[in-house]
Structure 1
Amino acid sequence: MSAPGHFVGVGVGPGPAGLIPVAALAALHSADLIYLPRARGSETSVARQCLTGLAIPEAKFREIEFQMDPDRSVLSAHYGDLADAVAAELRQGRNVAYLTIGDAMTYSTYGYLLAALRDRLPELHHTTFPGVTSFAATASALSWPLGEGKERILILPCPDDMAALRADIETHDIVILMKIGARLPAVLQLLNALDIARHCAFARRIGLPGEVLCNDVSHLDADASGYLATMLIRRTAREKRHV
């Protein structure tokens, strides 16, 4: 019986191809199978686009439909099924990689899969490579510093309740808003009501077709999509710290 394979989690992108640690790229080249999430209704996997030009054989890729149903029982079943498939490959001695967009441990579906795998394979041999978070990519693309001096930063998925978001903004210097989706118009309305929209930045699909980069959201189209988007909210104007 062959020794179990090695499982690796790799965050790629977000943005132009090539945003991946050298060690993670080496692990992908040595993997026998690479699972890539693809959003339901999309023709291509964004994660695969982030690997363009890196000379990884197409035969290694195995696309899976990305599932983020609000029903937790549906989510559990989905990642349970995926874990069963990955575990079967690992038991055959194959090395398996799973790609996710951004950092694998920051609001990532990779965490669901890893937990399910560890339940099925207590002896699981695995490595998780850190990646570039969407907010780090947004800050770099827009030259928008994330935290200076003793500024307090809050990272959160966008709430449905704008009163709750308002309270978060009023008690932090910077709020990093993820998973915005259809709430974007309400968020923009709130930022304009607080008269801080000009201090805030927004990015969507960095480095991909349909890219949006905006360092003053008072000019942002409220009908723009909030999918694959990140908002950087600053409560007050940036302090001039240089002479």
Structure 2
Amino acid sequence: MSGIFYGIGVGPGDPELLTVKAINAIKEVDIIIAPKTEKKEDSVALSIARPYLRDDVEIVKQVFPMVVNFEKSPEAWENNKNEILALLKAGKKIAFLTLGDPMFYSTYIYVFRLLENEGYPIETIPGIPAFCAIGSKLGYPLVEGNDILTIIPATAEEAKVKQAIAVSDNVVLMKVYKNFSEIVDCLTENQLTDKAVMISRCGLPEEEIIHDLEKAKDKKVNYLSTILSRRR
């Protein structure tokens, strides 16, 4: 019997924001793959999905290096791939959990590329991205009318980030933890701080909402932090 591989988006943090399809798949699988970084023992994605796990499901934690391209650290990725393939060969149903949406700035994208030509069925189940959850939580429309929304990873090249902010109507800034102060300065220069808001760990117990970014610009920011801003 051939195994099947599911990529499941668990949303931003609140377990109630998982889709029915995601919950049904989680309840059906034999094995849960819980990705984590080298520095942390726990998987945030796993903690979100935990209310829906069967008691007898097997949990496999895999470490994925935080690199821009998985080709730069092939050993860890190949080891994880081979472990997954061995389980699929044994006929196991496997769910790979990922924060937000699987096809949106996700580790799952790299895993999908490693497995897509290996001959096993893959089903990707979408999840709610953090910025959508933030907009709904705060009553903050992301775009209206003919507004253009720009989604910017703050970890991109500085010149590209500044250029994108300068020409955008509305912006979503992801991964602002490394250069938060510089990002705030750039938003201020472009008259985008007045209506800006940042949420860290949206939907999780340690959630924090910051409206005055300029006052908080020297703050150490959590990895799971997102800024929304608009010109009008």
Q: Structure 1-normalised TM-score? A: 0.87
Question: Which residue of the other structure, out of 6, 11, 14, is the alignment partner of 2:12?
Answer: 14
Q: For residues 25 and 156 of structure 2, what CA distance do their matches in structure 1 show?
A: 39
Select the residue among 196, 219, 223 that pairs with 1:227.
223
Match of 1:175 in 2: 171
Cross-structure match for 1:62: 60
**CA distance change for structure 1 residues 117 and 164 in 2, over 3 Å: closer, same or farther?**
closer
* 1:24 paired residue number: 22
Aligned mates of 1:39, 1:99 — CA distance in 2: 14
For residues 185-213 of structure 1, the C-alpha deviation after alignment (integer angstroms, 9 at most, x for no partner) is: 11012222333212111111112243211
| Alignment partner of 1:199 is 2:195 | yes
Which blocks of at least 5 consecutive residues in structure 2 are unaligned? Answer: none
Local SS of the residue matching 2:178:
helix
Q: Secondary structure at the match of 2:16?
A: coil
- Superposed CA deviations along residues 137-192 of structure 1, whole A, max 9, x for unmatched, are 22122221110000011112114554432321221211211122211111012222
Mapped partners of 2:107, 2:157: distance in 1: 24
Which whole-Å CA distance do the structure 1 matches of 2:136 and 2:56 have between them? 31
Matched, 1:108 2:103: no
How do 1:64-213 residues align onto structure 2 when only pairs under 5 Å count? 64-70=62-68, 72-119=70-117, 121=118, 123-159=119-155, 161-213=157-209
Change in CA separation of 1:55 and 1:90 when aligned onto 2, cut-off 3 Å: closer
The amino acid of 1:124's aligned partner reads Y
User: Partner residue of 2:39?
Assistant: 41
Distance across 1 between alignment mates of 2:62 and 2:86? 16
Distance in 2 between the 1:36 and 1:154 partners? Answer: 30
Please state how far the C-alpha of 1:111 moved relative to its aligned partner: 0.9
Cα distance in 1 for partners of 2:67, 2:135 equals 29
Cα deviation for residue 95 of structure 1 reads 0.7
Matched letter for residue 109 of structure 2: G
Extract unaligned runs of 5+ from structure 1: 238-243
The structural deviation recorded for 1:101 is 0.4
Tell me the C-alpha RMSD between the 2 structures: 2.0
The alignment of Structure 1 onto Structure 2 pairs a total of residues equal to 232
Any idea what SS the aligned residue of 1:177 has? strand
Identical pairs, percent:
29
What is the rounded CA distance, in whole Å, between the counterparts of 1:73 and 1:63 in structure 2? 21
Report the Cα distance in structure 2 between the residues aligned to 1:130 and 1:206, rounded to whole angstroms: 18
Q: Compute the displacement of 1:135 (Å).
A: 1.1
